């Protein structure tokens, strides 16, 4: 065994790590424009960077969102530039939210012990989130296609540091979170772990790929294996028909804003992690911002709305992410499952190639044919001890593995059909 060689190798690795950390903790050779409202920044520069990232990074959406953000959230924006003088060009844009939450909002009550329960209810944390807490996906950072990812992410880290420092006037920002990193984003941002960021895997995003041959929902239904198709018809559609329920599009959300908000709260209040509560005007504002890329499907019985699902087209992806339903009615009716299937019809109608159903309820989404897309967050607390504690808290959040399901016809069944 070459002990001296191993010692030298370890020493070299530690020196390299120290050098990387030193470089990251120093200022990047970049320039920043940071604002509290998107209209205060160069709109053309933002749009140039954000266009490939889709609807949720677009300036019109973010401007509309400012008016209806939850009361405990406030937005922050940044444009990162490289070069000087005439050579200066936009390198990245960053969307952030500052949230004031208690620890009790991060853990279900049934999973807290007595000591943690007392601490959770009395402790409020200011969390600086790089990303959008109202959506699923990496909707916080857009980087120019020819940019150096490491340099850009260094700039992102510096933006977050600068905002945290400036927030001291309003109160200490305890906790930083970069949310919903897919695999390639995680690889690009991995060196931020030298700045004490910790990676935490969350529940996966369930994504249903839409076959180009599916022109209507009936095409999707026909593609299912016989037992799955029969289950959909008998356990979902028939029960809804027997319950005298109809499923239909909703055009005017403003007229029923109170009903939709009450149904949303019925579901939201039962969630283990509640970072915010949407305001009643939010859904109608989202509809106006998304335009033709917006669908709201509702379940009605005798005129009353029992449930709704909102889907927004984000490029080729339909994000089916806002849902609400009458929990009492859902004890006898498969409202939730029916709405998941309505999301397929809406996505096909919008010409999307896949549906992002988000986290939670992994089993019914897998039964649709959705597959897990790994997600994770980078987290950092300003105090090293609390940094480790917060990671343990987040790791303690229920995290199920997505079940393996293949509801579609096998080749032999396809040939027989």
Task: Identify the pLDDT of residue 401.
Answer: 78
* DSSP symbols for 360-412: S-HHHHHHHT-EEE--EEEEEESSHHHHHHHHHHHHHS--PPPPP---BPPHH
Q: Out of 18-32, 43-57, 90-104, 323-337, which region has the weakest mean confidence (pLDDT)?
A: 18-32
Counted residue by residue, the chain has a size of 417
> At residue 388, does pLDDT exceed 60?
no
Task: Identify the pLDDT of residue 367.
Answer: 96
Provide the pLDDT confidence category of residue 71 given band limits of 50, 70 and 90: very high
End-to-end Cα, the chain, rounded Å: 65
- CB within 8 Å of 41: residues ≥ 6 apart: 33, 35, 77, 79
Task: Identify the pLDDT of residue 411.
Answer: 58
The two counts, helices (H) then strands (E), for the chain are: 15, 15
Task: Identify the pLDDT of residue 105.
Answer: 56
Selected residue with higher pLDDT from 190 and 30: 30
Task: Identify the pLDDT of residue 13.
Answer: 46
Instruction: Please name every residue paired with 205 in a beta bridge, in sequence order, or none if there are none.
Output: 373
> At residue 111, does pLDDT exceed 60?
no
Q: Out of 204-213, 361-370, 383-392, which region has the weakest mean confidence (pLDDT)?
A: 383-392
* DSSP symbols for 48-115: HHHGGG-GGG-HHHHHHHHTT--TTEEEEEEEEEESSGGG-EEEEEEEEEEEEEEGGGTS-GGG--HH
Selected residue with higher pLDDT from 258 and 119: 258
> At residue 24, does pLDDT exceed 60?
no
Q: How many CA atoms lie within 13 A of 287 on its CB side?
A: 18
Across 119-139, average pLDDT: 83
Comma-separated ranges of CATH 3.40.630.30 domains in the chain: 9-204+374-396, 206-373
126 close to 99: Cβ distance less than 8 angstroms = yes
> At residue 370, does pLDDT exceed 50?
yes
Taking only the tens place, the pLDDT of each residue in 194-222 is 888 888 888 889 999 999 999 999 999 99
> At residue 20, does pLDDT exceed 50?
no
Q: What is the rounded distance in angstroms from the CA atom of residue 341 to the CA atom of residue 333?
A: 14
Task: Identify the pLDDT of residue 383.
Answer: 60
Selected residue with higher pLDDT from 289 and 125: 289
CA dihedral (281, 285, 288, 294) positive or negative? negative
Q: What is the rounded distance in angstroms from the CA atom of residue 301 to the CA atom of residue 306?
A: 7
Selected residue with higher pLDDT from 201 and 134: 134
Going by their DSSP bridges, the two strands 245-249 and 376-381 should be labelled as unpaired
Taking only the tens place, the pLDDT of each residue in 141-194 is 999 999 999 999 999 999 999 999 888 777 777 789 999 988 778 888 888 888
Cβ burial of 273 (10 Å; 0-12, 13-18, 19+) is: middle
Task: Identify the pLDDT of residue 112.
Answer: 47
> At residue 14, does pLDDT exceed 50?
no
Going by their DSSP bridges, the two strands 31-35 and 294-301 should be labelled as unpaired
- CB within 8 Å of 86: residues ≥ 6 apart: none
Determine the Cα angle at 389 with ends 384 and 394, to 5°: 125
The top-level CATH class assigned to 9-204+374-396 is alpha beta
Taking only the tens place, the pLDDT of each residue in 92-110 is 999 999 998 876 655 554 5
Taking only the tens place, the pLDDT of each residue in 296-351 is 999 999 999 999 999 999 999 999 999 999 999 999 999 999 999 999 999 999 99
- Candidates 69, 35, 117; CA nearest to 275 is 69
24 close to 154: Cβ distance less than 8 angstroms = yes
206-373 has which CATH code? 3.40.630.30
> At residue 390, does pLDDT exceed 70?
no
Q: What is the rounded distance in angstroms from the CA atom of residue 181 to the CA atom of residue 131?
A: 10
Task: Identify the pLDDT of residue 194.
Answer: 82
Cα pseudo-dihedral 176, 181, 187, 190, rounded to 10: 10
Share of the chain above pLDDT 90, in %: 63
- CB within 8 Å of 184: residues ≥ 6 apart: none
Give whole-number Cα distances, 85 to 30, 105, 202, 282, in Å. Answer: 12, 47, 43, 41
Q: What letters, b where the CB count within 10 A reaches 16 and e where it falls short, cover 12-33?
A: eeeeeeeeeeeebeeebebebb
């Amino acid at each position: 065994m070459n002990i001296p060689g191993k010692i030298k190798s370890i020493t070299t690795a530690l020196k390299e790590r120290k050098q990387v950390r030193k470089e990251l903790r120093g200022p990047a050779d970049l320039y920043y424009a940071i604002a509290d409202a998107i209209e205060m920044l160069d709109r053309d520069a933002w749009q140039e960077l954000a266009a490939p990232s889709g609807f949720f990074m677009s300036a019109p959406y973010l401007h509309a969102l400012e008016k209806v953000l939850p009361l405990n959230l406030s937005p922050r924006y940044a444009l990162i530039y490289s070069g000087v003088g005439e050579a200066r060009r936009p390198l990245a844009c960053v969307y952030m939210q500052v949230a004031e939450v208690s620890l009790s909002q991060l853990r279900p009550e049934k999973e807290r012990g007595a000591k943690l329960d007392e601490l959770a209810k009395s402790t409020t944390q200011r969390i600086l989130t790089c990303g959008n807490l109202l959506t699923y996906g990496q909707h916080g950072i857009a980087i120019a296609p020819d940019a150096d990812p490491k340099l850009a992410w260094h700039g992102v880290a510096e933006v977050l540091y600068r905002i945290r420092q400036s927030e001291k006037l309003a109160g200490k920002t305890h906790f930083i979170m970069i949310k919903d990193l897919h695999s390639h984003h995680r690889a690009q941002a991995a060196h931020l772990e030298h700045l004490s960021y910790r990676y935490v895997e969350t529940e996966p995003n369930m994504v249903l790929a839409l076959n180009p041959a599916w022109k209507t929902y009936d095409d999707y239904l026909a593609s299912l294996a016989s037992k799955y198709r029969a289950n959909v018809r008998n356990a979902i559609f028939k029960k809804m028909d027997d319950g005298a329920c109809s499923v239909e599009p909703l055009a005017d959300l403003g007229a029923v804003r109170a009903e939709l908000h009450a149904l949303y709260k019925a579901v939201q209040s039962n969630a283990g992690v509640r970072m915010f509560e949407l305001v009643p005007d939010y859904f109608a504002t989202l509809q106006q911002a998304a335009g033709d890329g917006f669908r709201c499907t509702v379940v009605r019985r005798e005129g009353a709305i029992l449930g709704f699902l909102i889907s927004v087209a984000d490029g080729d992806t339909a994000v089916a992410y806002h849902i609400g339903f009458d929990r009492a009615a859902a004890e006898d009716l498969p409202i939730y499952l029916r709405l998941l299937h309505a999301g397929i019809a809406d996505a096909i109608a919008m010409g999307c190639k896949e549906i992002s159903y988000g986290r939670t309820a992994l089993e019914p989404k897998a039964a649709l044919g959705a597959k897990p897309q790994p997600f994770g967050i980078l987290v950092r607390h300003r105090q090293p001890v609390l940094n480790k504690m917060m990671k343990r808290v987040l790791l303690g959040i229920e995290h199920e593995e997505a079940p393996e399901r293949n509801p579609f016809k096998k080749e032999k069944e396809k040939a027989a059909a």
